[in-house]
Structure 1
Amino acid sequence: MQVRDIMTTQLHTLDETATLHDAHGLSRDKGIRHIPVLDSKTGVFHSIVTQKALVTRVMKLANLYGAAELDEQEKRIPIEEVAVRDGDRISADQPLLEVAEYFLAHKHGCLPVVNTDGTLAGIVTSSDFVKLAIRLLKDGR
């Protein structure tokens, strides 16, 4: 099996002009934990907002300014201050076993799947691996 067999391709993304407020709203409204950031001009994968980075920054702002000021403070933070720019990336044709071992060794919750031209093909999350495990367990009853 390869990454393409389990990756999520229907993604909600932001571009580099977004703010922390945009990311927080998207995460909350769509129930997603990881948000890829694309270059607004080229569509090339730029960075990713992870759940950990998002929650850490939001909690820090809430503690500093209080809940009443949170929205306004989030609007002042460019997404690039929160997103992970030089993180790991994988390709759709990588073997799943290799990626699963990498997930465990590096404690990743997600990895962007990027094409050779830099465009985003999808994302693989720990939830995708859990879904695969469920499917395999049901098939092997």
Structure 2
Amino acid sequence: MSSSDRPIRDFMTPSVHTIPMESTLPQARAMMKEHGIRHLPVLDGTSLVGLLSDRDLARMEGFPMIDFDLVSVPDAMSEEPYVVAPDDAAIDVFRTMQERRYGSAIISDGGTVVGVFTTTDALRVLVELMR
């Protein structure tokens, strides 16, 4: 298998931290800080309903008329994250992320979130290729 044929599962981060949609933004910020991450898939039970990023948090903090501590995750999340299957060609995922300026791709297998691929992962791949 050539490197351009490899599936995204070969490059994704498999241990994904998720957040329930009932959570507040301070809870999300604490989780991101605790785990050193910038993206949280948002779940309603086990179903993916959105994605919350550190940029979403920063945007909400920028509104002085909003009490950040009372805002729920669904009010700040992106409702249509970029979702791909584990066997999708990594090169296609990379290209789509680059062309559409996405910071992450959520990897879903049969509706279950099984991984995430972020720009940080992309840099790790680039470093490996440059060795």
Quick check: TM above 0.5? yes
Q: 1:105 and 2:99 equivalent?
A: yes
Q: Residues of 1 paired with 2:39 and 2:49: CA distance?
A: 13
Q: Structure 1: which 5+ residue stretches go unaligned? A: none
Superposition TM-score, scaled by structure 2 size:
0.88
Aligned with residue 52 of structure 1, among 43, 51, 55: 55
Number of residue-to-residue matches in the alignment? 126
* 1:119 equivalenced with 2:122 (yes/no): no
Unaligned runs of 5+ in 2: 1-5
Q: How does 1:35-114 map to 2 (within 5 A)?
A: 35-40=40-45, 43-60=46-63, 64=64, 73-114=67-108
Check if 1:31 corresponds to 2:32: no
Identity of aligned residues (%): 21
- CA distance change for structure 1 residues 81 and 38 in 2, over 3 Å: closer, same or farther? same
1:63-113 alpha-carbon deviations (Å, 9 max, x no partner): x16xxxx9xx33311100011112221111111111111111000110111
Q: Which has the higher strand share?
A: 2
TM-score, normalised with respect to structure 1: 0.82
Per the TM alignment, residue 121 of structure 1 is displaced from its structure 2 partner at its CA by 1.1
2:10 paired residue number: 5
Between the aligned partners of 1:55 and 1:26, the Cα distance in structure 2 is: 15
1:122 alignment partner AA: G
Structure 1 consecutive aligned stretches of length 4 or more whose deviation exceeds 2 Å: none
Query: Hey, what does 1:21 align to over in structure 2?
Result: 26
- RMSD of Structure 2 on Structure 1 (CA): 1.6
Which structure shows the higher helix fraction? Answer: 1
Distance 2:96 2:32 in 1: 25
In 1, Cα distance between equivalents of 2:105 and 2:31: 19
Q: Distance in 1 between matches of 2:74 and 2:115?
A: 20
